[in-house]
Amino acid sequence: MAQNDSTKRMTPLVKAVANARPSVVNLRGKKTLRSNINAGTRTQAVRQVNGMGTGVIIDPSGYILTNFHVVEDVERIQVTLAGGETTVGELIAHDNKTDLALIKIDTDELLPTIPLGTSSDVMLAETVAALGNAYGYEDTITRGIISEIGRTVQVSDEQIYHNLLQTDASINPGNSGGPLINLDGEMIGINVAVRVGAQGIAFAIPVNDAMEVAAGFLNEITQISLEHGIIARTVYKNDEPTTRIQSVKDFSAAERAGLKYGDVVKCINGQNCARAVDLHRLMLDIEPGSKLELEIERGNESQTVAVQLGATKKTGDVSIWTQFGVKVTAVGSSVIGSRHPNYSKGLRIDHVRPGGPADQEGLRRGDILVTMDGWKTESIENLMYVLKQEDVRRGDETVFYIIRDGEPFYGNIRIASN
């Protein structure tokens, strides 16, 4: 009798939560809030509050998707895994419009990733569950149904969400960035907002939309080191995702391999590629100069195409390390954000050489260098040009501008001659 009762308790919802929970993380950190106290002088009051939220692991190497408002202005993103281990995450990319962000944690082990469903076949009144760090109560699970599909919700003058899933599953502060799952344990949405003062009205970004944004984030990362030339998007056939090539860049490795618009990528090096996010995720660990084997469908035919990858030019890396004392990566607007209309690109500092000029001046990992010596530094080539200027080479003080934690700073530095 007890065995039968136990079997009845193992409901589809219990199984679904067990399937998804290992890939859900809790996020905490101190957020800096600013408010105007004197509009005439633009004086701002600054205070810090304890922030909390949730994220989902989308790649085993430690890439986590969450809401941007969860990690915006957080000085130190504390990430707690399902097993209880705690580490620090780094904000890699974000998109203000969709309120999504990508963070990265360092890990020596492969992490479980969230099972992905599709939001194109979501049904009204379908049972769903929200997982997250509700009010700081870690690993909270709430249940509800899909109340409506395709909602447009304005939560502030600056933030409007489109095409949201509406649910009556309880979503509270701290749930943001966590998964909305179906009874198969698959993520069908990213929890994002509640209607203040309303009962049983909450919203989630459809997983199809969220994964396309995530694909863009990962593409920006892979394009830094690999010149593949593939521009792809996810297309759904009978609610099943496929990765379709939208265009191929001129003179790229993809063009040389003969890839064309409309090709459907099925596998990369033997690994399934169901979505565009999979294509870029599978390239994260590919070394420059490697060969990719793509299984594609063209029309009604299947074929294998070999793509010989080139390496993004690294000219000047050694000189930058020797003279300036940093290693940098070119980043775009998804990292810098939209606060600074004059700067949409820059060089993110990934490593600082102890005792080097940058270290002595107080530059640190995560700073984004946007100008030096009056020149914009949008690429490694830009920075190399600055380092070759006569005044810089002879050790004159050079003015630089950086963006740190979303705010602009400037300073003076003397660069060592090479």
DSSP 6: H
Residue 223 region by backbone torsions, left for phi larger than 0, else alpha for psi between -120 and 50, else beta? alpha
Dist CA 229 CA 333 (whole Å): 20
- Give the pLDDT mean for 322-349: 79
8 A C-beta contact, residue 23 and residue 56: yes
Give φ, ψ of 92 to 5 degrees: -100, -40
User: Of these residues, 59, 95, 99, 263, which one is catalytic?
Assistant: 99
What is the mean pLDDT of the segment spanning 176-191? Answer: 96
Indicate the pLDDT class of residue 165, thresholds 50, 70 and 90: very high
Which stretch of DSSP H or E encloses residue 13? Answer: helix 12-20
Three-state DSSP state, 172: coil
| pLDDT at res. 1 | 43
pLDDT at residue 196 is higher than 80 = no
176 in active site = yes
- Nearest residue to 168 via CA among 206, 136, 198: 198
> Is-same-fold flag (228-311; 317-413)?
yes
Range with the lowest mean pLDDT among 6-20, 26-40, 293-307?
A: 26-40
Q: What's the pLDDT score for residue 4?
A: 55
Indicate the domain borders of the chain.
Answer: 20-104, 228-311, 317-413
Q: Are 210 and 271 in contact (CB under 8 A)?
A: no
pLDDT value of residue 206: 97
User: Which of 2.60.40.1940, 2.40.160.40, 3.55.10.10, 2.30.42.10 would CATH assign to domain 317-413?
Assistant: 2.30.42.10
Instruction: Give me the half-sphere count of Cα atoms (radius 13 Å) on the Cβ side of residue 79.
Output: 27
Looking at per-residue pLDDT, the higher value among 61 and 289 belongs to 61
Structure confidence by residue, pLDDT tens digits, 118-133: 999 999 999 999 999 9
* pLDDT score at 138: 87
3 state DSSP class of 9: helix
Query: In 64-143, which residue ranges form alpha helices assigned H by DSSP?
Result: 68-71
Residue 6 annotated to the active site: no
Do 159 and 192 touch, CB atoms closer than 8 A? no
What integer is the mean pLDDT of 272-286? 92
pTM of the model: 0.74
Indicate whether 296 pLDDT > 70: yes
Mean pLDDT for the stretch of residues 274-286:
91
Q: What is the rounded CA–CA span in Å between residue 229 and residue 252?
A: 5
Identify the CATH assignment for 228-311 out of 3.40.1390.30, 3.30.470.30, 2.30.42.10, 3.40.250.10.
Answer: 2.30.42.10
- Lowest average pLDDT, out of 39-53, 137-151, 226-240, 251-265, goes to 39-53
* DSSP symbol at 23: G
Choose from 23-37, 73-87, 317-331 the range with maximum mean pLDDT: 73-87
Q: Which of 23, 59, 69, 209 is catalytic?
A: 69
DSSP strand E in 60-105: where?
63-67, 77-80, 86-95, 100-104
Mean pLDDT of 253-276: 93
Across-strand partners of 90?
104
Contacts (Cβ under 8 Å, ≥6 apart) of 128: 143, 144, 145, 146, 167, 169, 180, 181, 182, 188, 189
Of 23, 119, 147, 176, which residue is the catalytic one? 176
* Model pLDDT, residue 35: 55
Q: On the CB side of 165, how many CA atoms lie within 13 Å of its CA?
A: 37
User: In terms of Cα–Cα distance, which of 184, 177, 186, 180 is closest to 146?
Assistant: 180
Q: Is the pLDDT of residue 399 over 70?
A: yes
pLDDT at residue 311 in the model? 58
Looking at residue 47, its pLDDT comes to 61
Q: Would you tell me which CATH number, out of the four given (2.60.120.890, 3.30.870.10, 2.40.10.10, 3.40.50.2020), belongs to the domain 20-104?
A: 2.40.10.10
**Mean confidence (pLDDT) of the chain:** 86
Q: Catalytic annotation on 99?
A: yes
What is the reported pLDDT for 339?
57
Q: How confident is the model at residue 57 (pLDDT cuts 50, 70, 90)?
A: very high
> Which pair of structure tokens corresponds to residue 122?
């979501």
